[in-house]
Amino acid sequence: MDATSTKNIHAVEAGGDPQGRGATPPEQRRGNALSEHSTRTTLSEPPFKTPEGYTLSATLFNQDLAPTKMKGRKWSSYSIFTLWANDVHSLGNYAFAIGLFALGLGGWQILLALGVGAILLFGLLNFSGFMGFKTGVPFPVMSRISFGIKGAHIASLLRGGVAIVWFGIQTFLASVVLRVMLTALFPSLAGMDTNNILGLSTLGWLSFIALWIVQVIIVSFGMDMIRKYEAFAGPVILVTMAAIAIWMFAEAGGSIAWQTDNGLQGAEMWRTIFAGGALWVAIYGTFVLNFCDFTRSAKSAKSIVRGNFWGIPINMLLFGAIVVVISGAQFKIDGTIIESPADIVQTIPNTFLLVIACLALLILTIAVNLMANFVAPVYALTNLFPRHLNFRKAAIVSAVLGLVILPWNLYNNPVVIVYFLGGLGALLGPLFGVIMADYWLIRRGKVNVPHLYTTAEGADYHYKRGVNSRAVLALVPASVVALAIAFIPALHELSAFSWFFAAGLAAVTYYFVADRKREFHDVSGEPIAVDSVH
């Protein structure tokens, strides 16, 4: 920034005209700030005050946390669709859906379960996505609306903490696929896969580090590079999974088994169908929280709806069809039930085709990891240390944390998976309930975006010492219920629906304890927005 720009910005902060003509009426200050800001392309510090004269704080504001300008946003409906083209077809989701086949659901029943979940998700993701589109802010900043400028760390760190662990675990699972591919290409490498160094073989370490570096490089170029990678990976994944299904169908002689020998009937069948749909929503409970990280750069609200429509109900039906075909084909062939498409890939007799399939699975896992497990902790860390971390630096810190926790050891420890990740995951439903109830039911979508970046006591989101105690109060009983359902054996029958119980209880509680005497202001963030580089 040159000396003239700095002088002009300080003049605006002081309530004066940037041309030095004296004091400016309050109603004109915001326009002057916007005019001055429009000439800037980068921000290194808060540029000016809010219209009321509150100073923006460097502890809450940097270029990555700032709202994005409406003009120049790049995420189209295709961009949103490719998020789901990748994430829906993750290996973890295939393992879940194939598990429904193993439980005794038949083909149409699996499709119905996924369809119920898809309809619910379509609605939830639209509501969450619209928040990001309107405000242009990432999830940690969005959390300040309901929890306060300091209380927001509760939400962002919970979401980011879960994501960091899963980033490491997903990278490890991808490294297993890479090891299969490398040993198929170079059988002599099998000797490097027999020792043990902190839980991994030499080949395992090399595979993990290689994939770790690839992801760090992609993320270091920012959200726009993630958008481009997702756009590239989406069609690759769809074609590959469809090809695997067609190959399996041919291997089974052109027909499949529509269900196992222990197919469910009656009330148990319907309970499993709806439980499957509810669990399908719970799987995406993390993503519905921080969907605004992506939609803050959406071109329009319609692009969000269109992208979600093709990516959720339509794409999930395609996903369900692939699950039914590969599960039914394998069961017809030898009476066994696979755990994931990776099991099929390892049986491909042709080395060339096996390598191609492994590469596709690697592309898929990286795509899923970037969107679901990398972006959230990056913004959480940036929100925690905005003076010191930008998107790239936070990405490196997040990746290092995902490495040093030795995630393969966590993955192989049922106690960690069930109690640590299960416990943290159970708390995400209550967070969603509070945030949605506050934004849509209490505020009716009114947000004073500039006030999200100031520590002034009179600002809208300062509450008491930066924390909205009413939101925390609503969070506590819902969290207790969520944890009880997750861990008490007697409540096991309700576990599939725990996300809905927890989110609903948090929303209802907050609706009744929220302060309705407050005056809600709807103020655009355009005066302090930055050009969208996402």
Question: Tens of pLDDT along 71-126?
Answer: 999 999 999 999 999 999 887 788 888 888 888 898 899 999 999 999 999 999 99
Q: Read off the pLDDT of each residue in 449-477 and give the average, rounded to a whole number.
A: 94
d(CA 475, CA 454): 24
Q: Read off the pLDDT of each residue in 475-497 and give the average, rounded to a whole number.
A: 87
Residue 54 has what DSSP assignment? P
Q: What angle do CA 116, 118, 122 make, to 5 degrees?
A: 125
Q: What are phi and psi of 41, to 5 degrees?
A: -110, -15
pLDDT value at residue 455: 94
Residue 197 has what DSSP assignment? B
pLDDT value at residue 47: 53
- We report the CATH number of the domain holding residue 282 as 1.10.4160.10
Residue 453 has what DSSP assignment? G
pLDDT value at residue 101: 87
96-110, 237-251, 340-354, 439-453, range with the lowest pLDDT: 340-354
d(CA 29, CA 36): 11
Question: Is residue 66 a part of any domain in this protein?
Answer: no
Residue 28 pLDDT > 70, yes or no?
no
Q: Determine the longest span between alpha carbons in the chain, in angstroms.
A: 85
Question: Is residue 22 a part of any domain in this protein?
Answer: no
DSSP string, 285-300: HHHHHSTHHHHTTBS-
Question: Is residue 91 a part of any domain in this protein?
Answer: yes
Stated as kind and residue range, the H or E segment containing 297 is none
Residue 60 banded pLDDT, cuts 50, 70, 90: very high
Residue 4 has what DSSP assignment? H
d(CA 95, CA 326): 12
Question: Is residue 16 a part of any domain in this protein?
Answer: no
18-32, 130-144, 304-318, 487-501, range with the lowest pLDDT: 18-32
Give the dihedral sign, CA 88/90/96/100: positive
pLDDT value at residue 118: 95
pLDDT value at residue 474: 96
**Domain count within the chain:** 1
Residue 471 pLDDT > 80, yes or no?
yes
Q: Read off the pLDDT of each residue in 230-256 and give the average, rounded to a whole number.
A: 90
Do 39 and 48 form a contact (C-beta atoms < 8 A)? no
Q: Read off the pLDDT of each residue in 507-532 and give the average, rounded to a whole number.
A: 92
Question: Is residue 533 a part of any domain in this protein?
Answer: no
Residue range 79-93, pLDDT digits in tens: 999 999 999 988 778
Write down the pTM of the prediction: 0.84
Beta-bridged to residue 448, according to DSSP, are 523
Portion of the chain with pLDDT greater than 70, in percent: 88
pLDDT value at residue 29: 39
pLDDT value at residue 222: 85
The mean predicted confidence, pLDDT, of the chain is: 85
Rg, C-alpha atoms of the chain: 25
Do 80 and 298 form a contact (C-beta atoms < 8 A)? yes
Question: Is residue 34 a part of any domain in this protein?
Answer: no
Residue 464 pLDDT > 90, yes or no?
yes
Range of the domain at 220: 77-528
Tokens of 485: 């359902």
Residue range 374-420, pLDDT digits in tens: 888 999 999 999 999 999 999 999 999 999 999 998 888 777 666 66
pLDDT value at residue 417: 65
Beta-bridged to residue 49, according to DSSP, are 55
Question: Is residue 269 a part of any domain in this protein?
Answer: yes
Q: Read off the pLDDT of each residue in 210-229 and give the average, rounded to a whole number.
A: 91
Smallest CA-to-CA distance from 61 within 529, 398, 375 is with 529
Question: Is residue 7 a part of any domain in this protein?
Answer: no
